A = this chain, B = another copy of it.
Amino acid sequence: MISDPLKDYPGYALRRASNASLALLTPRLMEHDLRVSEATVILAIFTNPKIKQSELCKLLDIASANIAPLIGRLDKRQLITRIKVDGRSQGLELSEMGKSLATQILTIIEDHERALLEKMPEPLRAPFMEAIKYLWKPDGALKGGQDETP
């Protein structure tokens, strides 16, 4: 009988489960001509109007080199507007079209995430969500909170 030697390891299970989740979500967002990363950025701007690209990078753990073309695509589609903050940085906001798209994205993602959670027995859901947060740093260890000794 063939068996998977890594199936009981958390990091491996994370990778497999994440891939399975993305395989379900990607085609649903593609109907709106959006990648998962683009949808994530749109929602982050929706929740944090006037956020700067550098702040988005920290929040979502994306390299600044990679967010530049992504923001460029959203700008070209007139989903966002850039508002000069100072000479070198710009606050990002959603256009009306962007806000409308954001609410549609939110519907898709909420439905997707609800379906994911419903795959596991109810008593495991809360412990799962609590546990997984120890494996990354929500809100990107951003300003405001007490950081781990700098």
The 7 A-B residue pairs with the shortest CB-CB distance in the complex, in nearest-first order: A17-B135, A128-B131, A120-B134, A127-B127, A18-B18, A124-B131, A5-B47
Please encode chain A, from 124 to 150, with 1 for each CB lying within 8 Å of some chain B CB and 0 for all others. 110111111111111110111000000
A residues 98-114 touching B (CB-CB < 8 Å):
109-110, 112-113
Complex alpha-carbon distance, A92 and B12, angstroms: 22
Complex alpha-carbon distance, A9 and B22, angstroms: 13
30 contacts between A and B (CB under 8 A): A1-B144, A2-B51, A2-B55, A2-B59, A2-B144, A3-B48, A5-B43, A5-B46, A7-B133, A9-B109, A9-B113, A10-B113, A10-B128, A10-B132, A11-B25, A11-B109, A11-B112, A12-B40, A14-B17, A14-B18, A15-B36, A16-B61, A16-B136, A17-B132, A20-B61, A20-B135, A116-B135, A120-B134, A124-B134, A128-B132
A44 an interface residue at 8 Å Cβ cutoff? yes
- Supply 11 further A-B pairs (C-beta < 8 A) apart from A14-B14, A15-B18, A15-B36: A2-B144, A4-B138, A7-B133, A9-B110, A10-B113, A11-B22, A12-B40, A12-B113, A18-B18, A124-B130, A127-B128
